[in-house]
Amino acid sequence: AQRVTQPEKLLSVFKGAPVELKCNYSYSGSPELFWYVQYSRQRLQLLLRHISRESIKGFTADLNKGETSFHLKKPFAQEEDSAMYYCALLYGSSNTGKLIFGQGTTLQVKP
């Protein structure tokens, strides 16, 4: 069965430190993976999708099919990065829009 795991509930770092939010998945098909972010008092929004291989707000994420991972990284954390981050997998084919989410990781960036 499909599954997304984010092992850390809370990640606390100082401003300027590197950040890595872990995400592992289990899926028999070809994975379509995303990172969504929820800032305080804001709605959930897309941060990254693996197919784009882009950098958004300094964040990158690489799909590693061998390790079934999609970790989110940023070399230098900023205070405005403090938020809840969810890793998500689109499952049941692209014809449903169904997402399965990890448990979420709260990133706290201290000044």
Partner 1 sequence: NAGVTQTPKFQVLKTGQSMTLQCAQDMNHEYMSWYRQDPGMGLRLIHYSVGAGITDQGEVPNGYNVSRSTTEDFPLRLLSAAPSQTSVYFCASSNPGQNTEAFFGQGTRLTVV
Residues near partner 1 (CB under 8 A): 4, 6, 9, 32, 34, 36, 42-46, 49-52, 86, 90, 94-104
Give DSSP secondary structure letters for 30-82: --EEEEEEE-TTS--EEEEEGGG---BTTBEE--BTTTTB--EEESS--GGG-
Give me the least distance between CB of 25 and partner 1, in Å please. 13
Please return the burial class of 43, using the count of CB atoms within 10 Å of its CB with bins 0-12, 13-18 and 19+. exposed
Nearer to partner 1, 50 or 73 (CB): 50
Give me the least distance between CB of 74 and partner 1, in Å please. 21
Nearer to partner 1, 43 or 111 (CB): 43
Give me the least distance between CB of 27 and partner 1, in Å please. 14
Give me the least distance between CB of 48 and partner 1, in Å please. 10
d(CA 62, CA 92): 22
d(CA 75, CA 54): 15
Nearer to partner 1, 48 or 77 (CB): 48
